[in-house]
Structure formats: structure tokens, C-alpha cells
Amino acid sequence: MKPDGFRWNKPVAAAVIAVMCAGLGACSSSGGSTSAGGASQASAPTPVARLVNAAKSEKGLVIYGNAPTQYLQPVMNAFGKQYPGIKVTETDLSDNQVFSKYEAEAAQGARTADLVFASAPASWLQAEQNGVPANVTPTGLENFPADTNQGHGVFVMSPEPILQTHNSKLLTSAQVPTTYAQLAADSKADPAKYKLVSYPIDNPLAYAAVYGMIHVLGADKVWSYFDAIAPNTKTYNEGLDGLQQIIQGGASVGYITSGLAQGVLPKYKGLAGYTFMKDVTPLIPRAIAVTAKASSPASAQLFLDFLYSKAGQDALCAGGFEASMNNYKPAGGCTASLTNLKSQVPAGTVYTVPIDQQVLNAQAGITRRWNQSFHR
């Protein structure tokens, strides 16, 4: 299971993949390790020419990630245009599989991933304890929010916003809820019209989203909303299952939806759409790291640098990942960016869920309270 639930293994996948497009690439250099929270100081960046020369003797770049390859393809294409001599392959895995596969192979001395990316904070915390990330920091972080650097060689590749999706045939624009408060009120007042879909709390994205909501709105308010909407909600572990309910008319609203839907729903314009909730938008960090046992460390560092360049941000945006460069202006009209998000929601309502022990510590209590709402 994907942490965001999006596994495109059903008939709608062919149409979904058609929305993907390629970007153009350029890149810079990388260096040592730093941390916004006070980890070790960054070393001087490695010159690009030195990385490029080292990459010539490497045998391609291997990535283990928690997103279907179709999403990452625009990024790989753009990187390939900049560095045509580096072959990039990605294996699509769940959060836990990303790390367990890497660690098992690394322990055996086998060829394994040079880069890993995943979303769940708990998985990253364990990966850090197990020594998965390398002591590498990309160039260009000064052009990104401070929380892009999560410390210990872990960086936010895409801070993905939680969306609300809706069926445009079942709800008029005026009937589409734009806050969780409105969703709760509408659902309670007209349960026949507001049939809802979401994830269960044991989905890592859902848990992280609820944690972020509580951080911004407070626990009492959040649980009052879930008490109201739970009776009208069907939960699906797979994001595509919930999205199909919206598209096919089985539900009118989907809440706690992965930001990757921004690369999907434009295909269904006039039938389904999405919006950002105005009272709170959690950002779920899909983080990335060069691995300590990378066989192609120079290629991996070049790729990491590329992600934090303008060209890399354009490529991420083209694939539906959230571009997060400060004051980012997209190429080609793509809308998956923090710049676009923050133009649509009030200041102070956006919160990046950290890769931090406190998030893990709160999980048991939040899960118990969620179950009170959803299993009454």
C-alpha cells in the first residue's frame, strides 16, 4: 500500500498517465550535511565538474520511491536531458518497502538504491536510526523554505498538500465545502447529498494530515468535525478507490486526498475537481536522501541537486509533485506549487508536518480518538 494510497493499477490508470508531461533540466552541485534543527554544519559543495566526471565511471542511478514511476517520469526525463550519460531507474514501493529493501540489500553488499524517497515520518525516523541517509546536502536550499532541510541528510522533495476532491455533477460550485467546518455542517444537515470518502487513520498520509489539522485548529475543533462527518464517510486504503467513487458519482466529496491528485483531476474537468480547504492545509513531506551505501553517489548527488534547481522544480510540478522553491513561477502553467497554494488559502493555515519523534509519539492517542469518531 502506498502511504498516499495512489496505486494506478486499474483501468483508469491509462487515462491518468496521459496527463503527465516532460520538463527541461539543469542542475548544480552538492556537498556535506546540515540541519535546520542544528545538525552538523554543511561542508563546501562538490563542484559539478567533479561529480560529472565521477558519474562517468558509475553504472546508472537506482531510486526506490513511494510514487508510481509515471509521476517521476517528467523528472527523470528532464534530468536525462541535462545528463544523458546517466541512466535512471525507479522502483515503485511502499514506504516500509523502500527502506526494508534497501537495508536488506545493503547488509548483503548487493547493488541497491542510490536515492530513496518516502513520506511516512515514522519510517524516516527508523531509517535515520539505521544509518540509511548519507551525509549529503544539496546546493540551492537557500531558495527554499527552512523546513525543506529535515536534518541528518533528509530533505523534503515534495511538501504535498492535503486536498478536497468533489464531483462537479453532484455539487454546484456553491455547494462545494471550502473548510472542514463547512464540510461538517453540510454533511450533518444533508447526509444524502454529502456522501464522503477518505482514508482510514492507519494510512500514514491520513494520520499525518490529522496531526497537521490538530496543530493548526486544535484538537477539540478537529474532533468535533470528525464526529460530524464520520457517519457519512467510507474509507479506502487505496487513493484510486476513493477517487473512482468521486469520478463515478458514488460519493460527492473526498477529503484528506493526496496532493498528487493535482496531476490527475484536470483530466476530468467538468466531472470532478479539487480545492484547498481554507481553514487548514497540512503539507505531508515526501522526503528524499542519498543512501549511505550508494553505488553511484556522484549520480545521486547530481540528481538531488537537480531537484532543488528551477528546472528540477518545473519537472516535479509537471509530474504533480509540489514545487516548493520560494516565489516559484512555473513553466507551462503547472499549478502544483506552494506559490499557487498560498495564493488560495489564508496565511497561517498551511503547516508542514515534520519528520520528528513528536509526530510518532502522538500517533496512539490520535488513532484512539479517531476510532471513537468512526466506530460509534
- Report the alpha-carbon distance of residue 363 to residue 207 in Å, rounded: 7
Contacts of residue 289, defined as CB under 8 A and 6 or more positions apart, other chains included, come to: 115, 116, 117, 127, 132, 133, 134, 136, 153, 154, 155
Look at phi and psi of residue 51 and say left if phi exceeds 0, alpha if psi is from -120 to 50, else beta.
alpha
- Report the alpha-carbon distance of residue 331 to residue 23 in Å, rounded: 8
User: If you average pLDDT over residues 197-219, what whole number do you get?
Assistant: 94
* Chain centroid, CA 291 distance in Å: 19
pLDDT over threshold 90, residue 5:
no
**b/e 73-91 (16+ beta carbons within 10 angstroms → b):** bbbbbbbbebbeebebebe
Q: pLDDT per residue over 191-206, tens digit each?
A: 999 999 999 998 888 9
Give DSSP secondary structure letters for 190-213: -TTT--EEE--TTSHHHHHHHHHH
pLDDT category, 20, cuts 50, 70, 90?
very low
Percent of the chain with pLDDT over 70: 88
Average pLDDT, the chain: 86
Q: What are the residues facing 337 on neighbouring strands?
A: 323
User: If you average pLDDT over residues 56-81, what whole number do you get?
Assistant: 94
pLDDT over threshold 70, residue 43:
no
- DSSP H helical segments within the chain, as ranges? 13-17, 48-55, 69-82, 95-107, 121-129, 180-189, 204-217, 219-229, 239-248, 297-307, 310-319, 338-342, 357-361, 363-374
Residue in 23, 82, 4, 54 with CA at minimum distance from that of residue 260: 4
Say what the pLDDT of residue 53 is.
Answer: 93
Of 260 and 235, the one with more pLDDT = 235
- Report the alpha-carbon distance of residue 305 to residue 302 in Å, rounded: 5
User: If you average pLDDT over residues 97-119, what whole number do you get?
Assistant: 96
pLDDT category, 86, cuts 50, 70, 90?
very high
Cell numbers representing residue 119 in the block:
513520506
Give DSSP secondary structure letters for 350-371: EEEPPSSHHHHHTHHHHHHHHH
| Among the ranges given (209-223, 229-243, 351-365), the one the predictor scored with the smallest mean pLDDT | 229-243
Say what the pLDDT of residue 129 is.
Answer: 92
Contacts of residue 220, defined as CB under 8 A and 6 or more positions apart, other chains included, come to: none
pLDDT over threshold 90, residue 270:
no
pLDDT over threshold 90, residue 225:
yes
- Report the alpha-carbon distance of residue 4 to residue 257 in Å, rounded: 8
Say what the pLDDT of residue 27 is.
Answer: 31
Say what the pLDDT of residue 243 is.
Answer: 85
**247 neighbors 271 (Cβ within 8 angstroms):** yes
User: If you average pLDDT over residues 314-334, what whole number do you get?
Assistant: 91
Q: pLDDT per residue over 134-161, tens digit each?
A: 989 898 999 999 999 999 899 999 999 9
Cell numbers representing residue 188 in the block:
450533518
Say what the pLDDT of residue 149 is.
Answer: 93
SS3 134: coil
Q: pLDDT per residue over 164-191, tens digit each?
A: 999 999 999 999 999 999 999 999 999 9
Q: pLDDT per residue over 228-254, tens digit each?
A: 999 999 999 877 788 889 999 999 999
